[in-house]
Amino acid sequence: MPYKLLFVCLGNICRSPSAENIMNHLIEQANLSDQIICDSAGTSNYHIGEPPDPRMRVAAARRGIELKGKARQFNLADFDKFDLILAMDRENYQNILLLDPKGNYKFKVRLMCDFVSNASIKDVPDPYYGGSQGFDQVIDLLLDACSGLLEEVKQQIKNPK
């Protein structure tokens, strides 16, 4: 049974699809595509059906990563469907947990920046209203976080609970 990751931001057109596609890129390089599955979603319904933001696609393409997918909204079934749900910032984290008032799935929800090794940042900043350097910063931060996350997931696959 593959290990399933869900990346979540607000609109699912910048940060979470970037994390999903970066993680897929790293998973392919590690020859683990049959063992780890990724998806992404947004806590809002602002951009349902839209592709990743063109500015984000340019920043990712500069690093050899193609951003694919269409935005969708996070839903309650995602709690059961995924092994780990990764919120891009503390607001997304709180919004996800609000959908789980009994706290049954809290153990599955983590902050993406928990896996960063080269920064002490807690939130992946939303680049949507900023300039192009913000998109580059987010891609670099997510490359770092996804590398750390992949190491942790490899351990989970080797030693399932």
| Predicted confidence (pLDDT) per residue in 35-51, tens digit | 999 999 999 999 999 99
Q: What is the DSSP letter of 73?
A: B
Its pTM stands at 0.97
Which run of H or of E encompasses 22?
helix 15-29
Out of 53, 126, 136, 144, which one is annotated catalytic? Answer: 126
Out of 15, 55, 57, 72, which one is annotated catalytic? Answer: 15
- Output the pLDDT for position 145: 98
Superfamily name and number for 3-158 = Response regulator (3.40.50.2300)
Instruction: Give the start-to-end residue ranges of the domains of the chain.
Output: 3-158
Active site annotation includes 126: yes
- Output the pLDDT for position 132: 87
The pLDDT tens digits for 92-127 are: 999 999 999 999 999 999 999 999 998 789 999 999
* CA–centroid distance for 17 within its chain: 7
Active site annotation includes 9: yes
Active site annotation includes 72: no
Task: Please check the confidence at residue 159 and state whether its pLDDT lies above 90.
Answer: no
Task: Please check the confidence at residue 23 and state whether its pLDDT lies above 80.
Answer: yes
36-42, strands of its sheet edge to edge: 36-42, 3-9, 84-87, 109-111
